Amino acid sequence: MRNLLLKDGRNLSYQIYGDPNGSPVIFSHGFSDSCLIKQPDDALTASLGVNIIAADQPGVGESSPKPGRTMVEWGSDMEELANALRLDRFSVAGHSGGAPHALAIAHRLPDRVDKVVLASPVGPLDDPAMVKLLRLKDLKILVFLKRWPWLLRWSMKLQAKQAMGNVVKYAENLTRADASDASTILGDPDQKNMFVDNFTRGLAQNGEGLIEMTMALWNWGFAMSDITQHVDVFYGDADDILDPKMCVLVTKRLANSSGHVWPGAGHYGFIDRERWTGFVSAMR
């Protein structure tokens, strides 16, 4: 794991994997996840010719918290990271709640970001049309609690504390609510271990990262129609967390985009080898 001291004094933790000489890609993880979420076969990723830089969002891993942060601010954080790594031009990618984070980078750096690739993207939650397309009960509860920030914070800290007590059980319980992802999360031992490590890191800092991402999902600070780069949107038609119609709506609202459906895939289906290959290949 690597660390970068940002200009405002915060720490940013990140990792790099794939082909060191491949096309650079900055990847943004989703809700309750961390920079560890990926297909566990690094040799597969390297064979696809990409060099992935995955950073922990504020309050996740060793990344310093940034209470009250907005989505658009992630773009400036990643600009600092890109400058530190001397990346001139690169692609961005994101999964779920990481999708608007990826779009924030593209918005911030339109002359440096070549491509945008999203998996199971979340739309802005200040849009009632998007909120109606949330499927997971826990997400609907978060939207309800948004009007009482103190109660939302308490609820998410309690959720993180309970999950950290037994992360394996947390992963298993998730698949009960999200049956379409059961084989992805639990079916392969390497992938199960990756998810346990991922959730452990994502829920660290007493759930601070969960809270900060949740609040940032409302007012992004930019519109999807502002994104000028081509965006490839991948999503599964069996998603139990987001209604696939949300991904269709996100695709329609982007100025220049293409939608790609994964038949039978759930929210985390992008991790499975075949879909990961297609997802990553689109980043080159």
Over the stretch 225-274, which tens digit does the pLDDT of each residue have? 999 999 999 999 999 999 999 999 999 999 999 999 999 999 999 999 99
- What are residue 93's DSSP bridge partners? 27, 117
pTM of the model: 0.97
Of the pLDDT bands very low, low, confident and very high (cuts 50, 70, 90), residue 104 is: very high
For the chain, the distance separating the N- and C-terminal CA atoms, rounded to the nearest angstrom, is 24
Whole-number Å distance between alpha carbons of 175 and 188: 14
Mean pLDDT calculated for residue range 126-136 = 96
Mean pLDDT calculated for residue range 122-127 = 96
Neighbours of 195 (CB within 10 A): 28
pLDDT, mean over the chain: 97
Tokens of 84: 């530190």
Nearest to 27 by CA among 84, 88, 77, 94: 94
pLDDT tens, position by position, 187-218 = 999 999 999 999 999 999 999 999 999 999 99
Cβ neighbours for 279, distance < 8 A, ≥ 6 positions apart: 93, 117, 119, 234, 270
Mean pLDDT calculated for residue range 150-168 = 94
- In percent, how much of the chain has pLDDT > 70? 100
Mean pLDDT calculated for residue range 20-28 = 98
The answer to whether 135 touches 266, Cβ cutoff 8 Å, is no
Q: Label residues 95-120 b or e (16+ Cβ within 10 Å = b).
A: bbbbbbbbbbbbbbbeebbbbbbbbb
pLDDT for 84: 98
Q: Is 89 left (phi over 0), alpha (psi -120 to 50) or beta?
A: beta
Neighbours of 94 (CB within 10 A): 27
Tokens of 199: 């959730």
Cβ neighbours for 223, distance < 8 A, ≥ 6 positions apart: none
Whole-number Å distance between alpha carbons of 107 and 99: 12
Instruction: Write down the domain spans for the chain.
Output: 2-281
Mean pLDDT calculated for residue range 97-114 = 98
pLDDT for 44: 98
Q: What is residue 47's three-state secondary structure?
A: helix
pLDDT tens, position by position, 38-91 = 999 999 999 999 999 999 999 999 999 999 999 999 999 999 999 999 999 999
pLDDT for 238: 98
CATH class of 2-281: alpha beta
pLDDT for 227: 98
